[in-house]
Structure 1
Amino acid sequence: MKAGTTIMYANEKLGERVTKYAEAQSLQLPKPIKDYHARIIEERSDSNYMISTFQSQALIFFARAIGAKRVLEIGVYVGYSAMIWSHAIGPQGKVTGLEYSEEYAKLAQEAWKKQGYENIDVHVGPAAETLPKLADVSEPYDIIFIDADKTGYTGYLSQILEMSAPGAKNRLLRPGGIIAADNTLRHGLVADSSSDNPWQSADFDKEGSVPAANVAAIREYNDLAAANDRLETFLVPLWDGLHLSRLLD
């Protein structure tokens, strides 16, 4: 019987080569999107807020596989992942972004305009306050992507479920829709914060490490989603952890 453990390659060099091979064998991103990703990495010290190009390929494949046409993104940063969703669903689809930072939202809008994306909009402000304003959406979303403040994840999940009640006339997420949450393993600390994890430290909150509050919040999100009888979940141990929940009703 094959083991279910996610095998890490024998060394970092091999892992990098395997990843590059897998990327090359997967659907390709448009050059302008790849160039934008590369420029943000080069120019911004906070570029780790972006998803990777490899994860982008997976999200495009996934969105197209389920025929998604409407995506809600909680946490826009400078607009890269919204471009990915827009590319995945096509110009007839709709991407709605929620972003706390006015600065990030402005940079995202400038990037979308420059690259000709006309089916993305962004609401600026705390997502917990913006979400209720989407209650009267004309059509529910097919995918909701959470990639924002980690301590807010459980609250966003509760709001999404409350606003997607079974049989409701207007609902945020359609029956069978997907909630995808990023960074749900946090360097593996969510699963294992012991000394066996090289990312573990006596004080997670020191500079350059993952805040302990984030680890606890993500662990709570994973537990709540798994225990909710309205959700069918699958936690993917790739990238920094991608949590997928399917709304059953």
Structure 2
Amino acid sequence: MGERWQAVDDYIAAKLLGDDDALATTLANNAAQGLPPIDVSAAQGKMLFLLAQMASAKRILEVGTLGGYSTIWLARALPEGGSLVTLELEAHHARVAQENLERAGLAEKVDIRIGAATASLAAMTNEAPFDFVFIDADKQSNAHYVEEAIRLGRSGTTIVVDNVVREGGVLEADSDDERIIGTRALFDMLSADPRVDATAVQTVGAKKWDGFVLARVL
């Protein structure tokens, strides 16, 4: 079944996305530099691009840069004068992302901040509100990251959280996997928090069976 999921993603990309040298080079550079191949798929990247444009986002926050593949998609959605802050734990990943962003001609729009995202977020006390937030980092901290996204956002801010289905693992209430525990805590937080309206969508494709949360700050 997985091969068919991949084939459908390839079909979607061929029909609706086309070739993209900057993104292909980014993935090749990530692999050459030893980064794990855990970027969003091309179709998911285009979805982020469209969602950010639909939100008329001028300021974007990304938690989890990796090699900058999703960062490029999001930065391309920004209008003239727009900006993106992206948080990355690993200095090596951040250096690779900087290379990729420079090659894509987007470095001037993007501020990469290195260190634990919890600390980077806590230090953000004088930021203008973000219009769009994409969270794709350590899953055990997802609920906290959404709390911070709300604090740093405004009424109408769009929040997307990746990898929230985990091939059905989200159903495992007795799991000792910290990623599943963190994902379930995210759902508990969203279901109880009156400041956000949210749903989640399951996905299959190049990234197997997973899904994302889509939320709006009220």
Shorter-chain TM-score tier = 0.7 to 0.9
Any conservation in 1 of the 2:87–2:112 contact (CA below 8 Å)?
A: yes
- Shift in Å, 1:40: 2.7
In the alignment, does 2:202 pair up with 1:232?
A: no
Give the length in aligned residue pairs. Answer: 212
Partner of residue 18, structure 1: 8
Q: What per-residue deviation string (whole Å, max 9, x for no partner) do you get for residues 176-221 of structure 1?
A: 1111111111122113589xxxxxxxxx8xxxxxx71111111111
More helix by share: 2
Partner of residue 188, structure 1: 168
In structure 2, stretches of 5+ residues that fail to align are 205-209
In structure 1, stretches of 5+ residues that fail to align are 1-10, 164-171, 195-203, 205-210
Any conservation in 2 of the 1:91–1:119 contact (CA below 8 Å)?
A: no
Does the residue aligned with 1:134 lie in a helix, a strand or coil?
Answer: coil
- Separation of aligned partners in 2, 1:160 and 1:128: 11
Partner of residue 59, structure 2: 70
Partner of residue 177, structure 1: 157
Find runs of 4+ consecutive structure 1 residues off by over 6 angstroms.
none
Partner of residue 130, structure 1: 120
Q: What per-residue deviation string (whole Å, max 9, x for no partner) do you get for residues 122-173 of structure 1?
A: 1111111111222211x31111111111111122222333x2xxxxxxxx21
Partner of residue 53, structure 1: 42
- Shift in Å, 1:88: 1.6
1:96-245 matches, within 5 Å, as: 96-117=85-106, 118-137=108-127, 139-161=128-150, 163=151, 172-191=152-171, 212-239=177-204, 240-245=210-215
Structure number with bigger Rg = 1
- Separation of aligned partners in 2, 1:223 and 1:131: 22
RCO greater where, 1 or 2, for CA within 8 Å and sep 6 or more? Answer: 2
Any conservation in 1 of the 2:86–2:110 contact (CA below 8 Å)?
A: yes
Does the residue aligned with 1:174 lie in a helix, a strand or coil?
Answer: coil
- Give the letter for the 1:47 counterpart: P
Does the residue aligned with 1:244 lie in a helix, a strand or coil?
Answer: strand
Any conservation in 2 of the 1:34–1:53 contact (CA below 8 Å)?
A: no
- Separation of aligned partners in 2, 1:108 and 1:26: 25
Q: What per-residue deviation string (whole Å, max 9, x for no partner) do you get for residues 43-95 of structure 1?
A: 636122x1111110111111112211211001111211111111122453111
- Shift in Å, 1:226: 2.3
Any conservation in 1 of the 2:90–2:114 contact (CA below 8 Å)?
A: yes
Identity %: 28
Pairwise CA RMSD:
2.3
- Separation of aligned partners in 2, 1:56 and 1:73: 13
